[in-house]
Amino acid sequence: ISSFYARVLDLRTMRVRLGPKLLRAGGACSALALEIDGPGTPEHICAFGGTDGAHNTGTFLKSVACYDRRRQVWHEPLGELPVACDHSNAILLPPSLCHPADPARVLLMNFRIRHYADERPEIWAIDLPVSATPRWYLFANETGTAEYLQPRDAAGVFTTASGRYVFNVGGVSYVMRDMPNGKRRRLSMKHSTVRVFDACARRWAPAGGDVGYGYFALQSCASSKLGLAFTCGGQPPDGSVSDKISDNSHNCIVHNLLGPSFG
């Protein structure tokens, strides 16, 4: 069941405490810290979409709720998402990324719009700072038969220091297959590959990396100081850790951002 409260991790003490009550409950959302009031202002903590209710049967949300830490209130400066979704990744692109006049942008990608189905290839965007009438628009929608173009959700995502390249680790897709008994069954395809989205060309490509076997429900982050990216947790293929399909991985995978696959 979705939590009604945020959790705050104090980086000085590494302790978790109860945070503010959410505007609405929403599990399996994505989140970013954004300078909603303009460059150099305190960041608002924004949650994108998610599931209100039980994970397998709850209602997908179209909302983007942002917490203003100075005023200690929730508000919705980014309007509604184009679609109700969960399991998404939210990415912040810096200004002047591809052209001097480019605004800062938030991208929303790798989401699903139905339970265990309908992973979407669309990448939606909104420009920052937002106008009085916030508008999300289609940033990219590349499709094809290659594995790296297959839509997925519950993936890990990190960016390089420049922000131009968005790396996608793992994730899961669902396909309908004809079975020997004549019935059709929904099967999961857990991805082991790493793909990269070029935010200037607005196209996906294989990144040349592979994590060994398929993972989903991952969390990824990167450090430009270390030149490393980390992908932790996730659920591997059924039975690869134990005979309990609910078991999750205790491991972290390290990617060398300076290597040939991530240069």
HEC sequence for 198-210: ECCCCEEEEEEEE
In angstroms and rounded to an integer, the radius of gyration of the C-alpha atoms of the chain is 19
Q: How confident is the prediction along the chain (263 residues), in pLDDT tens digits per residue?
A: 567 888 999 999 999 999 999 988 888 999 999 999 988 999 999 999 999 988 888 999 999 999 999 999 999 999 999 999 999 999 999 999 999 999 999 999 999 999 888 899 999 999 999 988 999 999 999 999 999 999 999 999 999 888 999 999 999 998 878 888 888 887 888 898 999 999 999 999 999 778 777 888 889 999 988 999 999 988 865 544 444 555 677 888 888 876 545 44
- CA torsion sign for 245, 240, 169, 158 is positive
- CA torsion sign for 6, 132, 124, 119 is positive
Domains in the chain, start-ordered, CATH in brackets? 1-141 (2.120.10.80), 144-263 (2.120.10.80)
